[in-house]
Amino acid sequence: MVSNAQSVSLQNRKGRYFCFPPSQGKAKSGETFMKADLKGMSLAETEAWIERQGLPAYRAKQLRQWLFKGLVGRFQEMSNLTKGLRLLLEEKAELTSLEVVETQVSKDGTIKYLFALRDGLTIETVLIPERGHFTLCVSSQAGCAMGCRFCLTGKQGLKRNLTASEIVDQVIQVKRSMDYADRLTNIVVMGMGEPLANYDAVLRALNNIISEQGMNFSHRRVTLSTCGLVPQMREFGKDITVNLAVSLNAADDTTRSFLMPVNRKYPLKSLIAACKAFPLPNRRMITFEYILIEGINDRAEDAMRLAKLLSGLRAKINLIPLNPHSRLDMSPPPMERILKFQETLVDRHFTAIIRKSKGQDISAACGQLSGRHVSGLS
Ligand code: SF4
């Protein structure tokens, strides 16, 4: 499975934009060809593709307008394109369209979408109501190879990388389902998967999410969360300007390696160095997520070590009490301990906020996305 995912990534590096599994068309000669996966292409690539079809370049902008702002599901709905062009698009291109298998609504208004991919795998996307707006938590992989101990997605292993269009389409499909779609203003890439392990597709998708000729989300309101893939973090800061969150969860290597195997490869020293080198526009900070787990990382000395580790960084800390689950052999600390942990950080001049994950009753909270419809999982 991993090798399949890697082969998609290599194809993307060569500038192709095939979907996985690729959908095929048939030329008049009877030869098969790959259909262009329009939602995963940049404006320049769309223009080049349009030109290759012998059409004027302005059609590319029209097309993207329909895809990313009109949110249409079929070429036939693109009413300002000629009938001939719509037929050509149907023959030579495709609109990745994730299928909603199920939605679950939490008591707190959080909605979890279970999407089916073309090859039968499923992913989850979570729409979170906040004060006056919504945040969408999107997935970047089906499953995850990183194996963090506190995370149900990690227990599945990696099934495959998502394509850029499968990532963008989570935003499109959720917007289509909303009554007030313009209230969806914030995107976090924190769902299933490690986004920087699917670098090219995630970068391509984020570019379409923030681009003016794409979905036009503000880059200030888009955040990517990583478990700490250091080489990719260094590249990412140069390739795009969005917010960075780091899933930290411990301030010493022994505890972090126990919770997050990635730390054995990229220990804290290299992770913090990559954070210090990460380019931050004015007044922006890196968010450090710290899942509090009873008896593992919740002592006063852990808080003091955390403060020392992050000193000198423009950092804010989200303290997230572990979301308990029957498949996890860990539990959150009692509230008084959580408050004490926070106080230790605040006393040392850090912004430290206790975040209660929403959607716990529908297993939509942080670390709970499990893709329970995936075969082999209960
Ligand atoms: S926390 Fe993130 S990186 Fe770790 S296993 Fe879960 S999805 Fe993967």
Q: What is the DSSP string of 202-220?
A: HHHHHHHHHSTTTT---GG
Which atom of ligand 1 lies nearest, measured to the CA of 144?
8
pLDDT in tens, 163-192: 999 999 999 999 999 999 999 999 999 999
Residues of the chain below pLDDT 70: 1-33, 366-367, 370-378
Distance CA 370, CA 52 (A): 42
218 C-alpha to ligand 1 centroid (Å): 26
| Atom nearest to 193 CA in ligand 1 | 7
Protein residue whose Cα sits closest to atom 7 of ligand 1: 193
Whole-prediction pTM = 0.90
- What distance in angstroms lies between residue 82's CA and the mean position of ligand 1's atoms? 46
Whether 294 is catalytic is no
Between the CA of 266 and the centroid of ligand 1 the distance, in Å, is: 15
Ligand 1 centre to CA of 158 (Å) is 10
Pick the CATH number of 99-362 from 3.20.20.70, 3.30.1330.10, 3.90.930.60, 3.30.360.10: 3.20.20.70
Predicted confidence at residue 371, as pLDDT, reads 55
- The number of the ligand 1 atom at minimal distance from the alpha carbon of 152 is 6
Report whether 45 contacts 17 (CB < 8 A). yes
Among 123, 125, 144, 374, name the best residue to mutate to test ligand 1's pocket (greatest count of ligand atoms within 8 A of Cβ).
Answer: 144
Dig out the tokens for 41 from the structure.
Answer: 């292409």
294 vs 225, 263, 323, CA distance in Å? 23, 20, 11
Give nearest CA residue, ligand 1 atom 4: 148
Architecture of domain 20-94: Orthogonal Bundle (1.10)
Q: Give CATH 1.10.150.530 domain extents, the chain.
A: 20-94
CA of 261 to the centre of ligand 1 (A): 10
Candidates 144, 148, 151, 366; catalytic one:
366
pLDDT value of position 181: 93
- Could you give the residue range(s) of every CATH 3.20.20.70 domain in the chain? 99-362
Structure tokens of 275?
A: 């954070």
Q: Which long-range contacts (CB under 8 A, 24 or more apart) does 70-77 make?
A: 71/172, 71/175, 71/176, 71/181, 73/97, 73/176
Atom of ligand 1 nearest to the CA of 154: 5
The residue from 47, 94, 124, 166 that is catalytic is 124
Q: Which pLDDT value is given to residue 279?
A: 95
